[in-house]
Amino acid sequence: MSLFPGKKKPRPLWTLFPAAVFFLSTVLVLGATGWAQSLQSAEIASSPNPVGSGARALGMGGAFIGVADDATAASWNPGGLTQLECPEISAVGTAVLRSEDNLFPDHSEASEKQTVSRGGLNYLSAACPLVVADTNVVASLNYQHLYDFTREWNTRLHSEGLKQAWKVDQGGGLYALGIALGVQVSPRLAVGCTLNLWEDLLYRNGWEQVIRTRNRVRDILGDLHRVNHYVRNRYDFSGWNVNVGALWNLTEHLSLGLVFKSPFTAELAHRTTSVIRYLPYPAYRQVNFLDEELDMPMSYGVGLGYRFSDKLTAALDVSRTQWEDFVYRSARGREFSPVSGLPLGKSRIEATTQVRAGFERLFIRPGFVVPLRAGGFYDPAPAEGGHDPYYGFSLGSGIGVGRTVWDIAYQVRLGTDVGSSIVRPQRFSQDVCEHTLFTSLIVHF
Amino acid sequence: MPSSTGFVTGIVTDALSGAPLEGVTLTIDDEAVSVSSGPRGQYLLAGAAGNHTLVARKSGYKRYAGKITLLSGVTKTRNVSMAPA
């Protein structure tokens, strides 16, 4: 018997159970696990380390904890906010071109270069200096884009009895609204605090990953089946944490910055949609809603700023992120590493230490100022059993005229033989090259 | 890409006689999508990579449930032996 007499080799009728027809329409299962049971890792495409914002700071290689003298201080070191002398507003935009040269040693057909680009808002801020009880106080409101999840992959994977074509689209980001306050506690020491609210505001706070696979697979007796599988995981992220910082002017030229970014547990509203189709039969769609959690790790850093003169400043930052505390907690309370997707007991994720250095040289001319900035950084990403080394450099410039400052920075971030935690169980590595352009506009009042 | 598709295939047999069983309903995690074993007892199921429970049911037999880990891009073999009720 054949449902499709026109076909030379119709697919066997046995492959679908008739009772399943009941489920042809959308099935909504609240609290079920099903497809969502397999862990999604939080694949952060940008640097996973919590760096600050601004074309000026990033033009200096992101070494800004010990400098932190503009409105982006709330993101680097809120202790530096008191250096602002007048109200200012700023906006920072960014454009990213990221390429991933993927290597599957066991699957040459899948080894391809994947490229993705995106642009958008990096930072918005408004800051206002005040004098309260003869004390310098600066209040600021900030909106920062910290993490980017944009990634696109189109690839094929062939193994014995299976030909698989993947299309992966991932997007989204994590944004924080920061309410910051800096206080001058002595002529040489200032402290500050930023309360970060990770909620939907200008953009949705979260990410989404869609994986479409088309499969031609043989069963144990060699019969060929065609199966299409669509899995969409959408995560809405919310929570709060604080950045606490201090800036200590050790000498007239040398300043020391300290910053602590608190760990926090974010609520993850996880919606998973799975559509599976055993061709030529109709597709089955299932949607699950799950309440999950993501423990975000603590980060802390120390920075030195040295002002050789009004025209030349150099900076060095060392910071550390406790990635071993980065934990995904499923709706059933099971804990996994978001880096690799392994159960926490089987995962070996370690803290990473980042080093950033840079300088700024100002060319002061009548009526305008032109800066030249450059820097370099070592920005490792967490990985199973160690870390993925990423390096980079940046260049920046701009112009300041009157009360308006425009800055631009170009940053390259490179990783070679990284990403082995992304694809399991396949042996995998990738070379990553990420070009980022930052541009800032600051207006003083 | 930790959650791509994996597969499991095998043959369902009667635990006493060893004969292939046709018409056994197989699911992953007791979900809506199920397949039925073929005339030679064969089946193929697809699912998201990860830990699952393979469930098989047929009238006159005890329910079968076994843990299985689906791996992205891999077809696993799991033969199922059904004990009469």
Cβ-defined contact of A219 to B37 (cutoff 8 Å): no
Question: What span, in angstroms and rounded, lies between the C-alpha atoms of A355 and A391?
Answer: 10
Whether the ω angle into residue A425 lies within 30 degrees of 0, i.e. cis, is yes
Cα A115 → chain centroid: 17
DSSP code per residue over B18-76? --B-SS-EEEETT-S-EEE--TTSEEEEEEESEEEEEEEE-TTB--EEEEEEE-TT-EE
The reported pLDDT for the residue numbered A153 is 83
What are the structural domain ranges in chain B?
5-73
ipTM of predicted assembly, 2 dp = 0.89
**Which amino acid type is present at position A386?**
G
Using alpha carbons, select from A139, A107, A110 the residue that is nearest to residue A126: A139
Question: Would you say A61 and A67 are in contact if contact means Cβ atoms under 8 Å apart?
Answer: no
The reported pLDDT for the residue numbered B26 is 93
Q: Which residues of B touch A227 (CB under 8 A)?
A: 5, 7, 44, 46
CA dihedral sign of residues A323, A328, A333, A335:
negative
Question: What span, in angstroms and rounded, lies between the C-alpha atoms of A315 and A307?
Answer: 9
Q: How far B22 CA lies from chain A's nearest CA (Å)?
A: 8
Cβ-defined contact of B72 to A227 (cutoff 8 Å): no
Q: How far B85 CA lies from chain A's nearest CA (Å)?
A: 21
Q: Which residues of B touch A162 (CB under 8 A)?
A: 7, 73-75
Cβ-defined contact of A35 to B48 (cutoff 8 Å): yes
Cβ-defined contact of A14 to B48 (cutoff 8 Å): no
Q: How far B8 CA lies from chain A's nearest CA (Å)?
A: 8
The reported pLDDT for the residue numbered B32 is 65
Q: Best mutation site among B33, B45, B52, B78 for testing chain A: the one with the most A CBs within 10 Å?
A: B33
Q: Which residues of B touch A340 (CB under 8 A)?
A: 2
The values of phi and psi at residue A55, to 5°, are -65, -30
Cα A289 → chain centroid: 24
Q: What is the mean pLDDT of each run of 10 residues along chain A (445 residues)?
A: 31 36 25 31 68 91 94 92 93 93 84 88 93 90 90 83 87 93 94 95 91 92 92 94 96 96 96 88 86 95 96 97 93 88 88 96 95 96 90 96 95 91 74 94 92
Using alpha carbons, select from A389, A67, A295, A221 the residue that is nearest to residue B42: A221
Question: What span, in angstroms and rounded, lies between the C-alpha atoms of A145 and A138?
Answer: 22
Q: How far A399 CA lies from chain B's nearest CA (Å)?
A: 43
> Which residues have a Cβ under 8 Å from the Cβ of A333 and sit 6 or more positions away?
none
Cβ-defined contact of A227 to B25 (cutoff 8 Å): no
The reported pLDDT for the residue numbered A132 is 87
pLDDT in tens, B29-50: 867 678 899 999 999 999 888 8
Cβ-defined contact of B37 to A14 (cutoff 8 Å): yes
Q: Which residues of B touch A19 (CB under 8 A)?
A: 25, 34
Cβ-defined contact of B2 to A278 (cutoff 8 Å): no
pTM for the predicted model, two decimal places: 0.81
The reported pLDDT for the residue numbered A45 is 65
CATH superfamily of B5-73: Carboxypeptidase-like, regulatory domain (2.60.40.1120)
Domain A28-444, classified CATH 2.40.37.10, yes or no: no
- Report how far apart, in Å, the C-alpha atoms of A40 and of each of A32, A142, A234, A327, B52 are: 16, 30, 10, 12, 15
Question: Would you say A396 and A371 are in contact if contact means Cβ atoms under 8 Å apart?
Answer: yes
Q: Assign 3-class secondary structure to chain A.
A: CCCCCCCCCCCCHHHCCHHHHHHCCCEEEECCCHHHHCCCCCCCCCCCCCCCCCHHHHHCCCCCCCCCCCCCHHHHCHHHHHHCCCCEEEEEEEEEEEEEEEECCCCHHHCCEEEEEEEEEEEEEEEEEEEECCEEEEEEEEEEEEEECCEEEEEEEEECCEEEEEEEEEEEEEEEEEEEEEEECCCCEEEEEEEEEECCCCCCCEEEEEEEEEEEEECCCCCEEEEEEEEEEEEEEEEEEEEEEEEEECCCCEEEEEEEECCEEEEEEEEEEEEEEECCCCEEEEEEEEEEEEEECCEEEEEEEEECCCCEEEEEEEEEECHHHCEEECCCCCEECCCCCCEHHHCCECCEEEEEEEEEEEEEECCEEEEEEEEEEECCEEECCEEECEEEEEEEEEEEECCEEEEEEEEEEEEEEECCCCCCCCCCEEEEEEEEEEEEEEEEC
Q: Which residues of A touch B52 (CB under 8 A)?
A: 37-38
Cβ-defined contact of B5 to A16 (cutoff 8 Å): no
Cβ-defined contact of A162 to B75 (cutoff 8 Å): yes
What are the structural domain ranges in chain A?
28-444
